[in-house]
Structure 1
Amino acid sequence: MSSSSATYDGYKLYISPESYLFEPTSAGEKQQILKIEREEDGAISVLDKLPVLTQREKIINVYGIIGQITLHTSPYLVLITARKQVGELGGHALWMATDFRVCPIPRDSKPSVLEEPVERMLLGLLKTHLYSAPFYFSYGWDLTSSMQRQQGQKKEAPLWERADERFFWNRYLSERFIKETQSGADLSRFIQPIIFGFLELKQCRINGTGFTFGLVARRSRHRAGTRYFSRGVDKNGEVSNFNESEQFVVAGQGSEEHRCAYLQTRGSVPVFWAEVNNLRYKPDLLIMDKHETAEATALHFEKQVAAYGEVYLVNLVNQKGYEKPVKDAYERAVEELGNAHVHYTYYDFHHECKGMKFEKVMQLVERLEGKGLRIDDYFEDSGRDAKRTQGAVVRTNCMDCLDRTNVVQSTLGRWILNDQLRVLGILADGERLEDHKDFWHVFRNVWADHADVVSKAYSGTGALKTDFTRTGKRSKEGALQDGVNSITRYVRNNFFDGSRQDAYDLFTGAWTPRKGVAGDKRALLVRAMPYVLLLSVLVVLFGLLAPLGDSDSSRRALTATAVVVAATSFYFITERGLEYVAWPTLNRPEETMYYDGPGYSSGRHGRAAVPGHYDRRNTSKASTKPKDVAALNKKEGRRGY
């Protein structure tokens, strides 16, 4: 392994037709030179010194190598070309990546990119993901790991070896470099782990004592995706939208540095369920009663217990109406689990906090205390020795693990932080952080920023009700913004999130080129109908707005016909809403879209264009009417109808 566990903090990249040469710019030590041949296989080697240059090379500054990815026809290098410092921990700078470069490895790859539409599409997905995701990294501090986990690490090990593989977002793109390192050529210092999430540090002062307050969210690369296109658990026990959030305080400097940190997690309900988009505001809710459910749920919680110790589940899903079946399925799964280290609590958030009385969440905290959760159960270290370790974690979820979840997590964070600040001698006994308005403002806004970032990654918009989180008051502007966010979520989730899901699958390796890309298989009439609707609406508008003339009666007839065509085409589209949602194309979720097995369904809306969908075993029973499929499944003894 390399002589240093840190990665290089920058390079001069020399680009020639023959190779890419990365010359580290780190000062004060002998540097290695990374050479990548621009042949089809992109052979990698490490040189002791920079070869003689030919003056043909283009030179650019690079601040990190995200990795290598192969698209439809060519492999590419993905590089960080601009960064912004966002803080410092343990003497190591923390950075946010702000600009990127994607470089084709084969020297003749550019013509193929221009000629190949699939390659252009995949390249567009890659670049969209790079510029829409908040990526953070450090050359010496392991951002993928909590402070407590870092205590058990071998500090001399390379950063990529120490990284928590769940949050090592570019692990898939780093595979080529890791395999080369494991085969003998040590590329450890060129492998730069990054996280996808949130990171904010604030320099604060209370009672004359300065300290750093920080919050970091690490998004899991497993089962990564968007709202509606990624829900529930998979057979490996990984859940959608899993985030580990770590709130920390650092006081003192150098050998006198004192740290306290607290971990919480969030993640989708760990059963097989989905919401199937159909252009309606509320999609069809689907809970799939699969034989592997119990094993997948058990595996998920085994991993949670192994990573965090005791696991306190907080379920915020509504116990009435549309969400109730998800709550019931979760409770059945936990009851069948029989894991003594998993403790379940249900909290009817909307009922208990009716009227925006979020302060009532403290009643939930008191209930958790009654089940064994302790206010002093967090990580603390002074210098090099851990004075205490966190032995339990609260795993919170609502339907999306976004808005309600963030309110509960911030309340738990405040509860713990009061004790941590007293331990650090920053607060006196009986004093609360809420009593210090400046810091209370910082605390609220950091958690609101955290809510927005986690929500945007999953739903495409910021979180709801963050005006209350930031100010403690509900405002007209905040209510209006929530309305805008709700409409934006609907539009994005139905018409734009398919490509976002594709980008996640491409970057994390959930899809690889060998799987191929599915084209548009819809019937011509189905594809043409939106254009028919648009044209007929334009004709109607022209008929209503154009000045009257001698052909008034003919125009009225044309307008009336256009109204009928518009109504007919609109009905056609809404009845076949499933066909008009922008579904992912790389890993198209056919099983979920057309699921007809046992379980629960809130209805089968917008699926008239799918013959035989309701019962593939006997298409003569199939019907486009939801009430018919309900009767059929009830007759056949399927649960939940």
Structure 2
Amino acid sequence: MGVLQRCPSENTEYYLIVVTRCVKVCVLLNSSIYKIQEVDVISLQQPRLPGYKSQDEDNWVKEIKKLMGNESFYFSVSVAGDSRPLDLTLCAQRRARTDISDNRFFWNRMLYLHPKRFDINCDAWLLKVICGSVEFSSVYMGNHAPKLYVISRLSCERAGTRFMMRGVDDYGHVANFVETEELVHVETLDNVILSYVQTRGTVPLFWEQPGLNVGSHKVKMSREPTISGKAFSEHMRFLRHKYGGLAVINVLGTGVTGKSQGEAALSHLFQLQHKTCPWSCDCPHIVFDFHQECRGGNTDNLSRKLQPQIQQQIDSFCLFCLRGGVVVQEQRGVMRTNCLDCLDRTNRIQTFLGLERLDAMLDLLGEAATSGVIKHRLRSKFEDMWKDNGNKISQIYAGTGALQGSKIIDGARSVGRTIQNNLMDSSKQEAIDLLLHGNLLDNYLAALARTVLPQHLQYAPLSVLKSVTDRIPEFSEPLPLKVCVGTYNVNGGKHFRSLAYKHLSLDDWLLDYSNNNGANSEEEKSNKKPPDLFAIGFEEIVDLNASNIMSNTQWSENANSWGHELEKVISRDENFVMVTWAQLVGVALFVFVNEKHAAHVKYVNVHTVKTGMQGNTGNKGAVGIRLLVHNTSIAFVCSHFAAGQKEVNERNQDYDSIARKMIFNLKVPLWAHDYVFWCGDFNYRINLPREEIVRLVKQSEWDLLLEHDQLLLSQKENKCFPGFKEGAIKFAPTYKYDLFSDDYDTSEKARSPAWTDRVLFWRRRYKWQENCPWSHGNIDHYSCAALKQSDHRPVLAAISCEGRKVDEAKLDAVYKEVVSSLGPSDCTVLVQCVSGKQMGEELSEKVLEAVQEAMDALGTLVTVRFQNYNILFTYDSPKQALDAISSSPIKVDGLEFSIKLKTERWQELLEEEMRFCMDTTTPLCTETIPTPPDLPSSTSLLAPSSVRDVLGQLYSQSAQSPMPSPCPSPSFDPGRESSSGSEPPSDDEQTSPRFVPVRPAPVRPAMPSRPPPPRPQYSSPTHGPKETSSASPVISRAASKPVGNSPPLPSPPRSSYSVETVSSAEGSPLDGSSVSSNSGIASSASLSRRDVPLPHYPNTAQQDPSVAATPPSFPSAYELPSIPPPQQAPTLPVENLNSQSPFPPTAEAPPSPHPPAEAPPFLPPPAEAPPSLPPPAEAPPSLPPSVPVRTETSPPLGACILRPNGPVSAGGPPPLPVRGGAGRSGPPSLPARSAVPSLPPRTLPTVPGRALPTVPPRK
């Protein structure tokens, strides 16, 4: 396969990787395709000793063997032996246009680099390996035997495991990008080849999905969407240039339930970027919620709902046809399908598209494939092949096969994925990185080269990288940067939202810091240059309780809220964009960049280190964020060290552990950055008694206090922060205060004041800077702010530093000059005798020794060997070999020897070597895509800045339906109820229940101990309800017709509640509670059954023939009233309070929405007391309606909710008579009610008897 290079500490190690076991899969055209089953890794520098055992190998060697032996890698060998084998990196249509390999699918291309430097014919010695799947089958079609293939090629540009590699990178490469080709070859039918290509890949945004906690695979934006536009545009540009036409099929979920919110928000962000990108705005983006549209595994909906939306693109893109070596038809575009993982749902969509294109392929085959039996055979074969193909891709990315709908199989694979993600993915990811980026890992030189060189030049030989980076000042210019770093221990609170802190402002800390205590000089106050970067760290952003510590909190609502508030505050004068943020339990770090630099930020990465309980818990630890601004690499660290006055050694150990373990992607250590800014609550104390400290603080004797500062004392002994710089401390200790006070701790513990909250920074000095003026940077400001809502004071440091910005034209000139002056990579020269004698035969040992001494004087020799009649001398560096040929010829004992390079075309070979690291993808079709005009700059940045904001945009205040999507799915019905059938599991094995409101529900008002008694009101059949300026909402059921002496009707559905208004008089009991039963009156608001449960009150029968078919008014605790509720409910007489209260005693939890089993659904009116009709229109309005008399057997009072078939009590009080009735001078008393009427007898049909056989007695 090739030679693997490892460069730990810039010492290159070489290992030969060979295939030791493989199995033949099929034959395609003139080549046999093999699947790799086992490989071996052999060191080229340390020979294996006798008794070697594979168990003694390094861990990385075992992981490489395990990776290459998982039966996912394939290579081809020519059947003829002398011809060139089939290039598996190319699809059939590209093979018809070129023979240049596609580096995206060339997985062992980096193993070619070292042999290429020695001018070895790699095509003759090495294999080209792809990763993916090759499925093969054949059928009989009359006199023909077509061969069927499904070939998937996984891209190596952003390769990795499921939860280790997500989204897009800075160059536009997405994770799990797979090109799948469906191919039919009929050799006996004009050697026809039919091919159809489609692609998949994750959403091209910066996002991640932590998979360490089972069931909590929440989507998190690893980089805010506002700075994802450049990478997204690069990805779409590549697809358009290399595939022509493009149609995006987005099958992410659109539901808004808890576990599906992140997926819906990610889909919405994808659509927004798609519309604002100039390369994709004219391409269709079809949103198809697979779980919603194909609920219960009903994939027939794909042809009914999805196909009509994409049929135009399917027909216009066509497919590839090669007949007799002549291209008959080209494919002019591809379908790009994605779900969350691009696994299970994507497999089904691609299977559907492949089978749909199969019919078009058979049409091109002619009459030989028109038989229905033939079509059925081919379709059945391809269905099985597509299923196996999906399993192989899922095995590579997730570690298990694809989910296919079987509960037993899917459950087992879900458990397997959980184990795989938690235990094995990290080691597998390291093996993938080593195979693809071996020489870029774990060395400082490669880390520096990544900051200044383009991607393809980063894989150049180390000698080239060293020579180029030593000349950085020649092709770069200084870039002044101002960085503000703050730290604040917030003691677990949301301080910016509380009314108690409304007089406090974060501006005093972050923006107006020059007015704070500790301003260093007047020059500082005059320095008004806005910051270029903000890094703000928090400690104890959540309570450090056992729940948060054990759950290893990496995302909290509190931290998210702080991030949004910080962005608003710092954007007062200049627009800032959040790059990313990270959290480890109580430690959180936010990084913002000035909007003018947003397009020049890349290589963003996050890492966390735990130090609590010997590195096992995150109650103490650190969060690190690295990024590249232009060409300056910066790392920010926020940490929380061990507490305690005497725990100095533990704090020093915390620092050492974090400094060693803070290693970012591609094994970039903390010290490989240009700048390191370290802030946090370090908990270093002052070695003085508390009384002495307080006295010196009152006298502002900062220098005397700093002489006993534990951090400075440890730093002098090189026990922590060696080489770091800190601003002059001219402010009081920041710990520990009483809340909302300037007094230090007055509690029983009486902790000593100390400068626990600090900001330090470090700058790396390179070799090329040794002879140049150099400084760490200028500390413009260092002070604390008077925010008193915590027991700590926030600290901020403003630092001016020097960055670099590379000039691409100058870099290209320097690189060419370095290459031309450096020499060959093999460092080898050839010495030949030109005096006419044969060197190997006639020269004596004395002459040979003299030649070697002469060559040794020209440089440091590594090896000497013979080749035919020549001598090969290998030097320590290419430069020494290049200098040696300038001494040619040399004379020894009268003989003349010429010196020349063994590899004279070394510059061409270096160009060929770098070509393995470049984009070599040939466009799929001959049609060229013109460069679109740029869209207005206002659309380059998206309005939403996080998943939380996207959800706020997605859904309206009532959370009833999503807002219109920029690319809506015609088949999506946001108001559709969830069916009772089971939902297919998503890619992370989670179902999607119905959504709940995203916005918080309104605060439930306190329920009164006794509701205001309603008063009766006349209602006319010809008039609507009496309208007043005051109204209160009433929950009622919509009646289809007025209620009279009609037979009982079934209850209406529970989803037909509405809110109506009834009149009331201010300051007096209600004049009436009856409202017209006219169902045509429009309701003022609607309350869906899905939103909140309805309250339940005891059902009580009541005789009131004068009350219409609407309930009396009572305040709803689940809807916002249309007017403010009354200040105080009217009181009832004491003598009427002898019955049970109709309302529950407490209102903390909503009562059950279902009535008790013993409560009848309705009670018809008694036969002896028929209800009276409403009064006529001409009746005087002052006459009160008749009121029933209460007896001793009456049930508890309750409000009456009437149904179309009669009144039903729901727990409210009965209506009261009008004030001023006969014989009454005081407030009205509650009248008695009659006894509960008996239920009318029901006549049931006689059940005919059945003759049952006699059961014989048991023996």
TM-score normalised over the length of structure 1: 0.67
Q: SS where residue 358 of structure 1 aligns?
A: coil
What's 1:130 paired with?
68
Offset, 1:84:
1.8
Give the Å deviation of 1:78.
0.3
| 1:16 corresponding residue in structure 2 | none
**CA drift at 1:486:** 0.8
Task: Name the SS of the counterpart of 2:104 in structure 1.
Answer: coil
Aligned to 1:197: 132
**Contact 1:244–1:263 at 8 Å: present in 2 too?**
yes
Equivalent in the alignment of 2:107: 169
Q: Residues 67-90 of structure 1, C-alpha deviation per residue, up to 9 Å, x if partnerless?
A: 433365731100112222211122
Q: Which residue of 2 aligns with 1:373?
A: 314
**For each residue in 1:264-294, what CA deviation from the matched residue of structure 2 results, as whole angstroms up to 9, or x when unmatched?**
1000100000012342322342112165411
CA change 1:91–1:492 in 2 (3 A) is same
Q: Does 2:191 align with 1:246? A: no
1:147-194 per-residue CA deviation (whole Å, 9 max, x = no partner) reads 00011115xxxxxxx21100001111122123433xxx5443223211
Judging changes above 3 Å, is the alpha-carbon distance between structure 1 residues 460 and 311 closer, same or farther for their aligned structure 2 residues? Answer: same
1:418 aligns with 2:359: yes
- In the alignment, the residues of structure 2 paired with residue 592 and residue 411 of structure 1 have an alpha-carbon distance, to the nearest angstrom, of 40
Residues 1:95 and 2:47 aligned together: no
Query: Any residues of structure 2 matched to 1:325-404 within 5 Å, and which?
Result: 325-339=265-279, 342-362=283-303, 363-370=305-312, 372-374=313-315, 377-404=318-345
Residue number among 228, 253, 257 corresponding to 2:163 in the alignment:
228
Q: 1:338, 1:423 → 2: CA distance? A: 36
1:149 matches 2:94:
yes
Query: Aligned letter for 2:5?
Result: I
Contact 2:148 2:185 in 1 (8 A): yes
Measured in 2, the distance between the counterparts of 1:130 and 1:569 equals 44
8 Å CA contact 1:178, 1:188 repeated in 2: no
- Higher relative helix content: 1
Residue aligning to 1:609: 619
Matched position secondary structure for 1:126:
helix
DSSP-derived class of the 1:237 partner: coil
Q: Which residue of 1 aligns with 2:4?
A: 68
Report the Cα distance in structure 2 between the residues aligned to 1:593 and 1:133, rounded to whole angstroms: 38
Question: 2:417 — aligned with what?
Answer: 489
Q: Which residue of 2 aligns with 1:12?
A: none
Q: Which moved more, 1:381-390 or 1:392-401?
A: 381-390
Instruction: Write out per-residue CA displacement over residues 192-224 of structure 1, whole angstroms, 9 at most, x where no aligned residue.
Output: 211011001111124554200100000101110
Q: Partner of 1:319: helix, strand, or coil?
A: coil
> SS state of the match for residue 418, structure 2?
helix
Aligned to 1:268: 202
Residues 67 and 170, structure 1, Cα contact 8 Å, conserved in 2 = no
**Counterpart-to-counterpart distance in 2, 1:460 and 1:144:** 23
Looking at structure 2, the residues matched to 85 and 110 of structure 1 have their Cα atoms a distance apart, in angstroms, of 33
- Over 3 Å counting, the alpha-carbon distance change for 1:232 and 1:102 in structure 2 is same
What is the DSSP-based 3-state SS (H/G/I as helix, E as strand, rest coil) of the residue aligned with 2:160? coil
8 A Cα contact 2:141 2:374, kept in partner: no
AA matched with 1:297: F
The equivalent of 1:499 in structure 2 is 427
Q: Do the aligned partners of 1:133 and 1:457 also contact (CA within 8 Å) in 2?
A: no
CA contact (8 A) 1:403 1:463 kept: yes
Distance 2:94 2:204 in 1: 25
CA separation of 1:364 and 1:597: change in aligned 2, threshold 3 A = farther
Asked if the contact 2:355/2:383 (under 8 Å) is kept, the reply is no
- Aligned partner letter, 1:508: L
Provide closer, same or farther for how the CA distance between residues 575 and 297 of structure 1 changes in structure 2, counting only shifts above 3 A: same
The 1:145/1:591 distance shift into structure 2, 3 A limit, reads farther
**Using a 3 Å threshold, how does the CA distance of structure 1 residues 351 and 247 change in structure 2: closer, same or farther?**
same
- Alpha-carbon distance between aligned partners in 2 of 1:130 and 1:138, rounded to the nearest angstrom: 16
How far has the Cα of 1:355 moved from its partner?
1.3
Secondary structure of the corresponding residue to residue 418 of structure 1: helix
| Residue 513 to residue 273, structure 1, CA distance change in 2 (3 Å) | closer
Equivalent residue number for residue 308 of structure 1:
243
Tell me which amino acid in the other structure corresponds to 2:432. Y
Check the 8 A contact 1:68/1:75 in 2, yes or no. Answer: yes
**Which residue of structure 1 lines up, in the alignment, with residue 961 of structure 2?**
none
The answer (yes or no) to whether the contact 1:240–1:268 under 8 Å persists in 2 is yes
Contact 2:316/2:332 (<8 A) preserved: no
Offset of 1:575 from its aligned partner?
A: 2.3
Aligned residue for 1:189, secondary structure, equals helix
User: What is the alpha-carbon distance in structure 2 between the residues aligned to residue 344 and residue 433 of structure 1?
Assistant: 36
Following superposition, the deviation at residue 506 of structure 1 comes to 1.0
SS in structure 2 opposite 1:338? coil
Using a 3 Å threshold, how does the CA distance of structure 1 residues 395 and 597 change in structure 2: closer, same or farther? Answer: farther
Q: CA deviation at 1:110?
A: 6.1
Point out the structure with max Rg over C-alpha: 2
Distance 2:266 2:621 in 1: 28
Aligned residues of 1:137 and 1:143 also touching (Cα < 8 A): yes
Partner of 1:158 in structure 2? Answer: none
Structure 1 residues 347 and 263: CA distance shift in structure 2, 3 A: same
* Contact 2:4-2:17 at 8 Å conserved across structures: yes
Q: Is the 8 A contact 1:598 1:639 kept in 2?
A: no
1:462 aligned partner: 401
Contact 2:5–2:439 (Cα < 8 Å) also in 1? no
Residues 279 and 578, structure 1, Cα contact 8 Å, conserved in 2 = no
1:455 positional shift: 0.3
- Please tell me the residue identity of whatever aligns with 2:211: N
Q: Within 2, Cα distance between the matches of 1:131 and 1:426?
A: 44
Distance 2:409 2:300 in 1: 22
The answer to whether the 8 A contact 2:160-2:432 is kept is: yes
Cα pair 2:158 2:174 within 8 Å, conserved: yes
Distance in structure 1 (CA, Å) of the matches to 2:425 and 2:238: 29
Structure 1 CA distance, aligned partners of 2:192 and 2:149? 14
Match of 2:1181 in 1: none
Following the alignment from structure 2 to structure 1, what is the Cα–Cα distance between the partners of residues 24 and 623?
53
User: For 2:58 and 2:248, how far apart are their aligned partners in 1?
Assistant: 44
Q: Alpha carbons of 1:379 and 1:102: their partners in 2 closer, same or farther (altered >3 Å)?
A: same
Give the 3-state SS of the residue equivalent to 2:434 in structure 1.
helix
Equivalent position of 2:17 in the other structure: 78
1:452 match: secondary structure: helix
Secondary structure, aligned partner of 1:145: coil
Residue from 219, 237, 240 that aligns with 1:285: 219
The answer (yes or no) to whether the contact 1:206–1:439 under 8 Å persists in 2 is: no
- Tell me the secondary structure at the aligned position of residue 177 of structure 1: helix
CA contact (8 A) 2:36 2:68 kept: no
5+ residue gaps, structure 2, are 78-84, 445-543, 556-579, 594-607, 611-616, 625-636, 639-677, 682-733, 735-756, 758-789, 791-943, 949-1259
- Distance change >3 Å, CA 199–CA 388, structure 1 → 2: same
Note the C-alpha offset of 1:138.
Answer: 1.0
- Aligned residue-pair number: 472
Alignment partner of 1:312: what SS?
strand
Q: Deviations over 1:335-358 (max 9, x none)?
A: 110225633111111111011111
For 1:574, the equivalent position in structure 2 comes to 550
